[in-house]
């Protein structure tokens, strides 16, 4: 038996998310409720790789956790095609542009509670595109270039703890033949 939705209501909504509460019939046949966070727009994640094999990482304080987080550039698509949004996010958050873009795949973060589609891109052939427009507004405190192997170590040692960044870097490692 699978999940059956009996009724659904929107409990909360803003321009970025919608929280839905569903009355359900669970796979065990019992009734229950299920809360689902729906992202209004898909997100994009950019693994930007320099010619020196460095990953461009940003550091920011995340409001949700109150913690400093080291991440790849990312953001919402805001109604754009994912590639266009990825190009915009890289420019806004790092001040960089990329000559080459490769789609690495799609994923869903926290799929047990959220409907949040995400697209991951590898950006290479980096060049300066001017100062990042959104750094201050988003609380970005640093933009760094870290050797790819160092980024893998940072994941292993918990210095990179953002799950979407970890997944994005893992997709890049597979695409680059560095992870089986």
Domain residue limits, the chain? 4-39, 43-175
Residues 6+ apart with CB under 8 A from 143: 56, 57, 58, 59, 93, 94, 95, 132, 135
Widest Cα–Cα separation across the chain:
58
- Asked if 73 and 94 touch (Cβ cutoff 8 Å), the reply is yes
pTM for the model stands at: 0.92
Please state, as a whole number, how many other Cβ atoms lie within 10 Å of the Cβ of residue 42: 18
How confident is the model over 152-163, as pLDDT tens digits? Answer: 999 999 999 999
Mean pLDDT for the chain overall: 94
- How far is residue 102's CA from residue 125's CA, in Å, rounded to a whole number? 11
H-assigned helices in 44-98: 82-94
Q: What is the mean pLDDT of residues 78-105?
A: 96
pLDDT range class, residue 169, cuts 50, 70, 90:
very high
Given 3.30.930.10, 3.90.79.10, 1.10.460.10, 3.30.300.20, which CATH number is that of 43-175? 3.90.79.10
The pLDDT of residue 148 = 97
Any idea what the Cα angle at residue 130 is, between residues 126 and 134, rounded to 5°? 100
Token pair for residue 26? 């669970």
How large a percentage of the chain has pLDDT more than 70? 97
Residues 6+ apart with CB under 8 A from 8: 20, 21, 22, 23
How confident is the model over 119-129, as pLDDT tens digits? Answer: 999 999 999 98
């Amino acid at each position: 038996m699978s999940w059956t939705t009996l009724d659904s209501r929107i409990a909360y909504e803003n321009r970025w998310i919608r929280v839905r509460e569903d009355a359900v019939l669970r796979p065990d046949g019992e009734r229950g409720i299920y809360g689902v966070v729906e992202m209004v727009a898909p997100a994009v994640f950019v693994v930007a790789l320099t010619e020196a094999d460095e990953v461009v990482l940003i550091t920011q304080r995340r409001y949700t956790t109150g913690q400093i987080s080291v991440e790849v550039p990312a953001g919402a698509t805001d109604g754009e095609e994912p590639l266009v949004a990825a190009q915009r996010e890289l420019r806004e958050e790092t001040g960089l542009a990329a000559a080459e873009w490769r789609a690495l795949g799609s994923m869903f973060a926290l799929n047990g509670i959220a409907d949040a589609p995400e697209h991951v891109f590898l950006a290479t052939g980096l060049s300066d595109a001017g100062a990042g427009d959104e750094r201050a507004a988003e609380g970005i405190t640093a933009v760094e270039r870290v050797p790819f192997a160092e980024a893998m170590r940072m994941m292993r040692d918990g210095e990179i703890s953002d799950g979407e960044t970890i997944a994005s870097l893992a997709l890049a490692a597979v695409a680059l033949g560095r992870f089986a």
